[in-house]
Amino acid sequence: GHALFQDVFRRADKNDDGKLSFEEFQNYFADGVLSPGELRELFNGIDGHSTNNLETERLCDYFSEHLGVYRPVLAALESLNCAVLTAMDSTKLEYERASKMDQFVTRFLLRETVSQLQALQSSLEGASDTLEAQARGPRSDEHSVEVQSRSHGSRRAGRRALRSVGRSPTWSPSSSSSDTGQSSELKSRDAVAAPSQPSPGAHRPARV
């Protein structure tokens, strides 16, 4: 999960200096539950040097130490992302030359992959929203709403790992072969960040 964290926290680093100021940290991690004081305490605890600048590597190390049962989940997401990007590269090269029946099978497999990932995403987001609602309690003041809205935007970006393998706005089987030379890391960063609309089959539980 370390590589995934590096990608996530690079997005929190708005000025790309390899460090997070407390403002950047707060903007990214504020969730409507922890108060600004508690966020400051967490920031200082991870920093350890009172520099008011938190290196993203230290942040990665901190969360890596607390992965628990999510360690294999994040590792599987990294492997899944690589596997799907590899499959998409191969499809881009071979789809147009394939027979009509092979093209049909490819389209079916791609639709089924998207459906399974959307089902997983729906379950995960439901669990995440439930836990956050329980943690926030009945509070409904304007400040809390504003913070919640801001933090949901940050976490939606962080959920790209599932969405990125669903579809890419620039992918086309007719793209030139030179396009396929882009690294998987670049493709993953350029993948869709907006929520996918659920498909008719998205309600089905994922088969693993």
What proportion of the chain, given as a percentage, has pLDDT over 90? 35
| Domain end position, chosen among 46, 64, 82 | 64
Label the pairing between strands 53-55 and 19-21: antiparallel
Q: Please indicate, yes or no, whether residues 83 and 185 belong to a single structural domain of this protein.
A: yes
Q: Please indicate, yes or no, whether residues 7 and 27 belong to a single structural domain of this protein.
A: yes
Q: Please indicate, yes or no, whether residues 103 and 178 belong to a single structural domain of this protein.
A: yes
- pLDDT tens, residue by residue, 3-14: 777 777 888 888
Q: Please indicate, yes or no, whether residues 98 and 132 belong to a single structural domain of this protein.
A: yes
DSSP string, 131-193: HHHHHHTT---HHHHHHHHHHHHHHHHHTHHHHTTT--TT--TTS-GGGGGS-HHHHHHHS--
Q: Is residue 29 part of a domain?
A: yes
Q: Give the global pTM.
A: 0.59
**Among 198, 191, 186, 140, residue whose Cα is nearest residue 169:** 191
Residues 6 or more apart whose CB falls under 8 angstroms from that of 204 comprise 115, 119
Please give the residue range of the domain that contains residue 90.
70-190
- pLDDT tens, residue by residue, 113-161: 999 999 999 999 999 999 988 988 765 444 444 444 444 544 544 444 4
Q: Please indicate, yes or no, whether residues 15 and 75 belong to a single structural domain of this protein.
A: no
- pLDDT tens, residue by residue, 46-58: 887 777 888 878 8
| Domain end position, chosen among 35, 64, 93 | 64
Q: Please indicate, yes or no, whether residues 53 and 89 belong to a single structural domain of this protein.
A: no
Q: Please indicate, yes or no, whether residues 169 and 81 belong to a single structural domain of this protein.
A: yes
Model confidence band, residue 208 (pLDDT cutoffs 50, 70, 90): very low
Q: Is residue 53 part of a domain?
A: yes
**Among 111, 180, 155, 141, residue whose Cα is nearest residue 12:** 155
Region 166-180: mean pLDDT is 47
pLDDT at 45 over 70: yes
